[in-house]
Amino acid sequence: MANKVFVTCEKVKYIKYEAKTSTLEIGFKSDSMYRYFDVPQEIYTSFLDAPSKIEFFETQIKDQYKFSKYR
């Protein structure tokens, strides 16, 4: 099972990645939670390393992968 990585960002609370299913879970400080599907592990790693998590999310993840909102 993947671990949540809590990040320093004004909008993103945590990032979680499940390699077996290529599922990226993002928890936002607004308490909404999304799961993105078929996300390559390289995207997850780059997301963690990005100086601006929200900018990376907006340009590299949002509208790029199928997703489900859970909260």
| Count of domains observed in the chain | 1
| pLDDT score at 1 | 54
Residues 36-61: b if buried by 16+ CB within 10 A, e if exposed = beebeeebbeebeebeebeebbeeeb
pTM of the model: 0.92
pLDDT tens per residue, the chain (71 residues)?
A: 578 999 999 999 999 999 999 999 999 999 999 999 999 999 999 999 999 999 999 999 999 999 999 87
In order of 22, 54, the CA distances from 33 in angstroms are 17, 14
Domain that holds residue 26: 4-69
Q: Which residues pair with residue 6 across a beta bridge? A: 14
